Amino acid sequence: MGDEAVADWGICPLPEQQPQAVCARWSQHSPAQPCLSHSPVCLQANPFQHRICRVFSTSDTRDDSMSFEDFLDMLSVFSDSATSDIKSHYAFRIFDFDEDGTLGRKDLEQLVNCLTGQGEESRLSSEEMEQLIQNILEESDIDKDGTINLSEFQHVVSRSPDFASSFKIVL
Amino acid sequence: VKELLSLPPSQRSHVLLTMPLHLEEKRNLREAARAPAGTPAPLLSPPSSPQGCRGLWYRLLSLLRAARPWHYALKQIGGRFGSSVLSYFLFLKTLLMLNFLSFFILLAFVVVPQAVHPPASVSPLPFTGLELLTGGGHFTHSLLYYGYYSNITLNDPCGSSPKGSVCPLAHPPLPYNLPLAYLFSIGVSFLVTCILLVYSVSRSFRESVRSSTEELAIKVFCTWDFKVIQRRSVKLQCENICTQLKVEELSNAKHPRPQPCALSITPLGPAARTEPCSGPRVEAVLLVLPLVVSLLNALMPYLFNFLAMWEKQDSPVTQVYVAIVRWAGWGCGGGSPLHLWQAGRLWGQCWETCVGQDLYRFMVMDFIFTLLDTLFGELIWRLILEKKVKTKRRPEFDVARNVLELIYGQTLTWLGILYAPLLPAVQILKLLLLFYIKKTSLMRNCQSPSKPWQASRMSTIFITLLCFPSFLGAAAFLSYTIWTAHPSETCGPFRGLETIYESGKRWVLVLEKSNPNITWFAWVYQNLLENTSLLFFMSVALIAVIYFNIQVVRGRQRVICLLQEQIANEGEDKAFLIQKLHSVCRHKYRRS
């Protein structure tokens, strides 16, 4: 497994992490099997863990399990050396909860609920949510079709200098 | 695959890196692009050796990465406290790197040659422990201060013979002129620091100028910090974001901010000292002045914070700006005129060493007060909150105040580098200790920040502050000292000259006389460096370039607005056309 990992380093933007560290982290989770059936430790407190596992998993059974290549893919997208194009592309896929290729109102509502947490007192009321989603769409929907597509998302995200540093997982 | 084949092999992997595809697909593409049908495999390079070499190279890279200092510590801090607190520690790392550079330049060219050829010895005083605090005593005649350095060519055996006598010994092949080395090393270290600072400022400015704080969409899409992995911190982040979003909703109609009404208190400089610096007095008394200044420095931020609470500033950005203005007022009144005062009053004595000792004492006191501040502000406060008030709240790590303290310490180092060449080493030690102490205190005593914080904009402000008032001020004082101050007669590498700058001028004259082939160098020196019209032209050119760039940015903003309108209009056109098509199709369908 180590040799494969090193061989794939050229197409996987991860020069910061040591291949040994990645392999060690992987064998910590699933010592014998090739697949993870639960989220890795670095994601377990993350409210987006299910979406991340769904986006990066390539298993045929659609049970969101991650093989070693999927894990490597995930780490490479979340590393320092991935370009902001790649990051915004995957961020869009993670935020697209219904997987229809655009961020509609339902997606935005679920996104805001993930961000504000699961507690009752920390959720926004429905009027606040409506107002918030309206404001977001006004700001980011350039062609005024009521949804945010990939280019509009990438345009919004490119204006924030914090995106690249916050869309990062350190191993 | 066709696109990949058309590229040269070195670029192929680069393009593959930037494609947002899964690893399996990338691997297939790479295989397909590597062995196209019809071309024979090259005989010279067997397919396994590029793999082997690349593997070796990546292993070497990963070893280098493992040697990166503090990687795990920074990861822990970022994982628990987020990017805002992390920015303080990254700033500390930057300062450490700058100090290392200055230190190595001075060490290599000034300290080591002098250490290898020690001057005619003045008997050193015995070492007592108090020297570490006061910088005097045993340290006065040591490599630490300006007064120890000699003004002769170092490996010249005739250097110490009286002038006018003929020297029977031969001149050394590589004369090492220490005064020149001293002047040039300090100049070079300042130049290198300046270049690095300007480069960092421009890079972070370019990144942060694009953002605007009011955009809700950016807040929603970009604020989630994926680095945070502890459950408690994740919960805190959720609460933060919820509060931010609610506040944005409520304050969509902007309220005018209350103007800060408490004026900045600019104190006068510290009272002039009356006793000479090198005398048979109790050395501990010399600590009084730095003690007082550091005490005031430590208490001022609390006073400012109190005033800030009174003024009800809501975002940390404004708080920091106001704190900076007050701080600058204090700083200008505080430390700067001190050494000019000294220089004015102590002609005839070794005033440079005195100034160096003063700055050393300021640095040591500053360090001690930072430690006390950490102890009382964080540890004891947390104990009080837990035991007496019995809340779960812990003190927060005040990033702005800590960064401003770092900047103050660094300004002292830069001011003192001419008078105490080993001061960067002291600063390096101080920063190393500070890193570990602050990190331990942070982990044990503090909680995550409760207010929203834009890490990149704050980093830009910090590094700009480091560059403009701090570094520029120190460089201005240094230039003033080199150009006009009269070096003392009895000690140091520039004794006997009118100004320090004169040693450079004399060297150029000597060069001109000794080697007629390089008169162009002297010509360059006289007409370009000494002529003020060059400076004038350079300033005019710089201002023109800045104006041009501002106009270009404005023009681009206008173009962006126009393009956005155009896109909205085209969207409407598209919707209209689709509707028309639908109605036409329906018509046709009904007819048929």
Please report, for chain A, the start and end positions of each structural domain, with discontinuous segments joined by +: 16-77, 84-165
- How far is A35 from chain B, CA to nearest CA, in Å? 15
Query: Are B115 and B24 within one domain?
Result: no
Nearest chain B residue to A154, by CA: B221
User: For residue B411, is it within any domain?
Assistant: yes
Q: Which residue range is the domain that position B389 belongs to?
A: 82-160+171-497
Q: Which of residues 16-45 of B touch A (CB under 8 A)?
A: 16-20, 22-24, 26-27, 30
Same-domain status, B92 and B30? no
Contacts of A6-11 with CB under 8 Å at 24 or more apart are A6/B54, A6/B55, A6/B58, A6/B59, A7/B51, A7/B54, A7/B55, A8/A69, A8/A72, A8/B23, A8/B27, A9/B54, A9/B58, A10/B13, A10/B16, A10/B17, A10/B54, A11/B13, A11/B16, A11/B17, A11/B23, A11/B26, A11/B27, A11/B30
Rounded to a whole number of angstroms, the distance from the CA of B55 to the nearest CA of chain A is 6
The CA distance from A25 to the nearest CA of chain B, in Å, is: 15
Inspect the interface and report whether the beta carbons of A163 and B221 lie closer than 8 Å.
Answer: yes
Task: Look at A143 and B61 and tell me if their CB atoms are within 8 Å.
Answer: no
**Domain shared by B5 and B117, yes or no:** no
Q: How many CB atoms lie within 10 A of CB B501?
A: 17
B371-394 per-residue burial string, b: 16 or more CB within 10 A, e: under 16? eebbeebbbeebeebeeeeeeeeb
A20, A2 Cβ separation under 8 angstroms: yes
Chain A residue numbers with beta carbons less than 8 Å from the beta carbon of B570 are: 143
CA distance B375 to chain A (A): 31
B chain contacts of residue A132, beta-carbon cutoff 8 Å: 216, 220, 245, 249
* pTM, full prediction: 0.71
Residues B212 and B360 in one domain: yes
What is the distance in angstroms between the Cα of B297 and the nearest Cα belonging to chain A? Answer: 33
- DSSP secondary structure string for all residues of B65-116: HHT-TTHHHHHHHHHHH-HHHHHHHHHHHHHHHHHHHHHHHHIIIIIHHHHH
CA-nearest of B493, B422, B503, B498 to B148 is B493
- Distance from A168 to chain B by nearest Cα, in Å? 6
- Residues 356-415, chain B, touching A (beta carbon < 8 A): none
Considering CB atoms only, which of A45, A111, A119 is closest to B234?
A45
Asked which of B438, B465, B497 is the last residue of a domain, the reply is: B497
Chain B closest-CA separation from residue A36 CA (Å): 17
ipTM exceeding the 0.85 mark: no
Listed residues B481, B497, B513: the one ending a domain: B497
Chain A neighbors of B211, CB-CB under 8 A: 159-162
Of residues B58, B221, B456, nearest to A6 (C-beta)? B58
CB contact under 8 A, A11 and B212: no
Chain B interface, mutation test: which of A166, A167, A171, most B Cβ atoms within 10 Å? A166
Statement to judge: residues B119 and B201 lie in one domain: yes
- Over residues A17-63, the pLDDT tens digits come to 456 666 767 766 665 556 666 677 777 788 888 888 888 887 777 77
**Residue A66: beta bridge partners?**
A36
Please tell me the distance from the alpha carbon of residue B527 to that of residue B529, in angstroms, as a whole number: 6
Whether residue B233 lies inside any domain: the answer is yes
Determine the pLDDT at residue B517: 73
Nearest to B147 by CA among B442, B591, B453, B488: B488
Query: Taking CA atoms, what residue in A is nearest to B233?
Result: A45
Does one domain contain both B251 and B353? yes
Per-residue pLDDT of chain B (592 residues), as tens digits, is 666 667 776 677 677 767 777 777 777 777 777 655 444 444 444 445 556 777 777 777 767 666 667 877 887 787 777 777 888 898 999 999 999 999 999 998 888 888 887 776 666 677 777 777 777 777 777 778 887 777 777 666 555 444 445 555 555 667 778 888 888 899 999 999 999 998 888 887 776 665 544 577 787 888 787 877 777 777 777 877 777 777 676 665 444 333 333 333 333 333 333 333 444 345 566 666 677 767 776 677 667 666 666 665 555 555 656 655 555 555 555 545 554 555 455 555 677 888 888 888 888 888 888 888 888 878 888 888 888 877 777 778 888 788 888 988 898 899 888 888 889 999 999 999 999 999 998 888 887 776 656 667 778 888 888 888 889 888 888 888 888 887 877 778 887 788 888 888 888 788 777 777 777 777 777 776 667 788 888 889 999 998 998 899 899 999 988 998 898 888 889 889 999 999 999 999 988 7
Same domain, B31 and B103: no
Q: And the tokens for B464?
A: 């700009």
Partner-chain residue, chosen from B218, B228, B575, that has the shortest CB–CB distance to A159: B218
Residues B397 and B326: their CA atoms lie apart, in Å, by 20
Provide the token pair at B374: 């950490």
Q: How far apart are CA B469 and CA B450, in angstroms?
A: 30
Which CATH number is correct for A84-165, 1.10.10.10, 2.60.40.10, 3.50.50.60, 1.10.238.10?
1.10.238.10
d(CA B445, CA B518): 64
Residue from A162, A163, A168, A171 whose CB has the most chain B CBs within 10 Å, to mutate: A162
B26 and A11 in contact by Cβ < 8 A?
yes
Closest CA to B199 of B413, B406, B403, B463: B463
Q: By three-state DSSP, how is residue B325 classified?
A: helix
Interchain pair A169, B227: CB under 8 A: yes
**Three-class SS state of B576:** helix
The number of folded domains in chain B is 2
User: Would you call A160 and B222 a contact, using CB atoms and an 8 Å cutoff?
Assistant: yes
Which of A8, A73, A160, A169 to mutate to probe the B interface, most B CBs <10 Å?
A160
Residues of chain A found within 8 Å of residue B224, distances taken between Cβ atoms: 48, 115, 166
- Closest residue of chain A to B248, computed from CA coordinates: A132
Report the residue of chain A nearest B51, measured CA to CA.
A7
